[in-house]
Structure 1
């Protein structure tokens, strides 16, 4: 979806981000057909906390009543990630790479299935996808919080609970393949293909060139032997990453996160040292 003038105007009017029928579908998915409910009203508000830079973030609050109960009004809130329409250049880049479409498809087609395989909470449930956005559980409302400073090093305890969640995700992917007699890499080949680590992505290749440039002038690498290595061999070693991001032909593959920075995992507020983190 390209950021047309009408689309930008629609997103500026936040409550027009969804049609009423879409919100009713979201409510139905949240309730999971456990009970019929009537949507009374909904409101979209921007996320004001720390977020990433590859999307716009909103909260969707729904007010509703169950049809076969008293007049008590229920309220729930979910999280929305959309294309960053206020930044047309970034939107064009994300669409060209297919990143948001890929992320939404992974939630809808895979993660929603993997999370059913264990009572451990390690990812949020996705309730709705569209080519320009997706809606999922609000992790903060589930009792989790992000790192205060995503750039800080993790403690050993934080690493332990993070690794527990990663191990759970990897184990769930193995179990899913065994139970369904499928290969995730083949089943979701178009979705899981790495789109940002390729020779065609300018920001990635610019980073590679920057690394080589720094290596050439670094005081510790000025010997003739090291300069020759940097000029003749290091670029080839760095090119090996293009093969490394693909499924291994030698080792057992598991579904991997690939983007573990501090903004993509949340710790339990009351039990941060024991409860697994929620990965996003």
Structure 2
């Protein structure tokens, strides 16, 4: 192969070498000696933050050979931050990069189900502190506006994708069980990789989410009155910690590899035009650094709680649970697996009811960070000192400072916090 100089040598020095580019191209079956890398470019994936714990880039490589005049290869690169030490330290402390690399390079390869529509981007390769994926933007996938909650079509597509993802776990365990002649459980083989990340009682990030939310409730909630505040304060920690127990490996309900971070930015849709309107016709999920083995209903609840208007969520809950379960049933039947042997509909609905608290607490952890406009998000979370203070020192001050000046933020975040209060701290009010 021959190649030209990269147009962004600063990035080249930080993340990727010319040899890396050659390796990436070879991973795409362009390995013949007559293939020439004419040139390549690397640029920021967005001028705004796409996520909170990494840096994101797009790599475009133009190749040619004796048989092809020119072909454009597009890649998405997720890398450990080189510009924000606090982000990089959190990723390393929680082992997030190694965990996600393991998921893509090892576990996802084992979870391939022939004929099943993809539920995530294709993994190309990993570098020392970066991973390379197909560029979903080049395939016309995009995230929804994070300030517009999912409607019915988007929710149905997302649930179908989640069913495919979960089915892949079930099919793998079923296949391995037949080969081994005994029950095979993914958790038993990969428990060292499938840890809970920040969702642990003693984790500083989780503690800040919990205490920060309580600070906001005490300052802004209509329930923070003399009559109720003592009960709220006395029950708050136990409620949040009990949610963590719902994410444990269950001895009662079917466990699968769960995503556990299904907020807007991690769900991407493809659209088709019908008349003058665009409708979602496909969906994939991204960012698997939080994966863990737990009851499948937990992921369903995280998706619904993080992306739906609460009133719409409750009105539509039976329809969405039924749709997910039927989709999972259909997929498993194509693999000759009877869903009642995995989880009956009654068991699924019971588990979903239990997992409501898990979905609500995950949403309460995430919404204070993502219900912020892109400019403020970029300004706030790209500064290493501010990032560290918010994530590990005083998240409550951050939440309250925005609530004081942003009515929409206060309403949307507080409605989630108040749902915890009404349903779990003060159930007599529900």
Flag whether TM exceeds 0.5 (same fold).
Answer: yes
Contact 1:15/1:43 (<8 A) preserved: no
Structure in which a larger fraction of residues adopt helix: 2
Contact 2:60/2:72 (<8 A) preserved: yes
- Are residue 176 (structure 1) and residue 178 (structure 2) matched? no
**From 66, 87, 96, the counterpart of 1:90:** 87
Corresponding residue of 1:165: 161
Corresponding residue of 1:29: 27
1:124-139 residue pairs with structure 2 within 5 A? Answer: 124-139=121-136
State the distance in 2 between where 1:244 and 1:203 align: 18
Corresponding residue of 1:62: 61
Deviation at 1:12, TM superposition (A): 6.9
Corresponding residue of 2:200: 198
**Other structure's SS at 2:57 match:** strand
Corresponding residue of 2:107: 110
When residues 61 and 279 of structure 1 are mapped into structure 2, their CA distance, relative to the original with a 3 A threshold, is same
Corresponding residue of 1:53: 52
State the distance in 2 between where 1:235 and 1:85 align: 35
The count of residues paired between Structure 1 and Structure 2 equals: 265
Corresponding residue of 1:99: 96
Unpaired runs of 5+ residues, structure 1, are: 1-10
When residues 213 and 252 of structure 1 are mapped into structure 2, their CA distance, relative to the original with a 3 A threshold, is same
Contact 2:116/2:164 (<8 A) preserved: no
State the distance in 2 between where 1:274 and 1:113 align: 28
Deviation at 1:58, TM superposition (A): 0.8
When residues 273 and 176 of structure 1 are mapped into structure 2, their CA distance, relative to the original with a 3 A threshold, is farther
Contact 1:128/1:136 (<8 A) preserved: yes
Corresponding residue of 2:308: none
Residues 26-56 of structure 1: CA distance to partner in whole angstroms, max 9, x if unpaired? 22222287x6762424332221255112111
Corresponding residue of 1:258: 260
Corresponding residue of 1:74: 71
Deviation at 1:74, TM superposition (A): 2.0
When residues 131 and 117 of structure 1 are mapped into structure 2, their CA distance, relative to the original with a 3 A threshold, is farther
Contact 1:39/1:62 (<8 A) preserved: no
Corresponding residue of 2:222: 219
TM-score by length of structure 2 reads 0.56
Contact 1:115/1:122 (<8 A) preserved: no
Greater Cα shift, 126-135 or 177-186: 177-186
Greater Cα shift, 242-251 or 171-180: 242-251
**Other structure's SS at 2:28 match:** helix
